[in-house]
Structure 1
């Protein structure tokens, strides 16, 4: 039984990942490369847990049970099982957490897996986590770095056996802003090209923030976090200058892009020196 399953709450992935990588939680404004996300997470499971992935369960919602074109593509991927809840009149997902809960319990009861890797932030799942642990299943909770505050239930985090936190760098190439021009550059070594100014700016901000964080003293980091979300003026100028140099574009009059850059900065800095493992 040395195998695992991955369970992805698509609503959480879009909201948290879109905010971190593109500065928006609006699903209509986002393009998600689901196959790349599944591949990267499966690779991490194989290396980090030394387990094979039986399959990935992808939980989403649809109006009247009719799959979108994107959901059809996801359903057609190898070793991916699409589970659909409902969308109500306010475009709110209904029944998704119940589907996740059911699959967790069924797999645990039948001793089908050793580990469940869960991408979610929903507090309603913490009882399900506790139950499958009673069957001897380890639960690895996967979160996405929050731009501000927290984007996962504290109860869910406390209940899980391990926590993996994905940074903007981990999600590089997974998200794009809908309608932005995309590069036609070739893909190199399996990594997608940076496809928009927003992506390149976010990537540059993440690189700068990561380097700064790794070199900062603990007291310096704590002082910075205590004044969050304000970035000290000299540091803010240094951040924007580094991004401008990387993308070859002046950010002075682009307030949205500057917000995205600062959001990417806090996505890295807000998690402390190291992501939880």
Structure 2
């Protein structure tokens, strides 16, 4: 397999990028990406310097809606070829939630499906270390691409887990951001299909009262067997059938099981934060 994926934690990309250009107090509402297409080309060039592979599968851009809607940057990125916009949620304190679990879930799934040989991960978060380790167990080489002073904005654990670590410096970010004069009406309504799937509540009910160790054990079983254990899968699919009042199609079943895995990863993160 000669194919790589670029995985971008947008929260880290903006925050660390602002610090790299010596504007740590800059807010995302005050900037736009100058040229998203050129940005992705530059990321692709950097990725090919790090990876053994030369063929891009796609760029995964992980972010969260802000003020109940997508930013112009998110809306434009979502329309670009070979880019998948993946949105978590933003809580009342302006903190992204669910983004790390999306990164871990996708990284592990790409590795398990043998879809890539290399992953270039732009993040500094300790929480994705487990995803890096599992992907490596499937033979994927993981290259962590930090921004600016990674001694300050990247966890030591993530650095140690990675196969290679590189940095994007201030010069690389010189023309990435454009400052805005007028920041009014900078949000776009999120379409209904972007709202978190109500099927997640069924996962919550099924896994209620499970502690972090039990949830992590389910992840281990999924990874070892390649599927959700029957004692969880059968009641989950049964509950979905009752909720929808019909039998689900094979495509819907595949999507439902993906939602189960994503929500499982989110619940583990929530338990870790308690």
Q: Indicate whether the TM-score tops 0.5.
A: yes
* Kept after mapping to 2: 8 A contact 1:22/1:177: no
1:52-76 CA distances to partner (integer Å, 9 max, x unpaired)?
A: 1110000000158742322110000
Give the distance between the partners of 2:99 and 2:149, measured in 1 at CA: 22
SS at match of 1:78: coil
Give the distance between the partners of 2:97 and 2:129, measured in 1 at CA: 17
Q: How does 1:1-277 map to 2 (within 5 A)?
A: 1-25=1-25, 26-33=27-34, 34-49=36-51, 50-63=53-66, 66-146=69-149, 150-179=152-181
1:48–1:97 Cα change, 3 Å = closer
* Kept after mapping to 2: 8 A contact 1:121/1:153: yes
1:28–1:66 Cα change, 3 Å = closer
Give the distance between the partners of 1:120 and 1:47, measured in 2 at CA: 18
Give the distance between the partners of 1:169 and 1:66, measured in 2 at CA: 31
* Kept after mapping to 2: 8 A contact 1:6/1:55: yes
SS at match of 1:136: coil
C-alpha RMSD of matched pairs (Å): 1.9
Could you tell me which runs of 5 or more consecutive residues in structure 2 were left unpaired when the two chains were aligned.
183-274
TM-score, normalization by structure 2: 0.61
| Number of aligned residues | 179
1:247-277 CA distances to partner (integer Å, 9 max, x unpaired)?
A: xxxxxxxxxxxxxxxxxxxxxxxxxxxxxxx
Could you tell me which runs of 5 or more consecutive residues in structure 1 were left unpaired when the two chains were aligned.
181-277
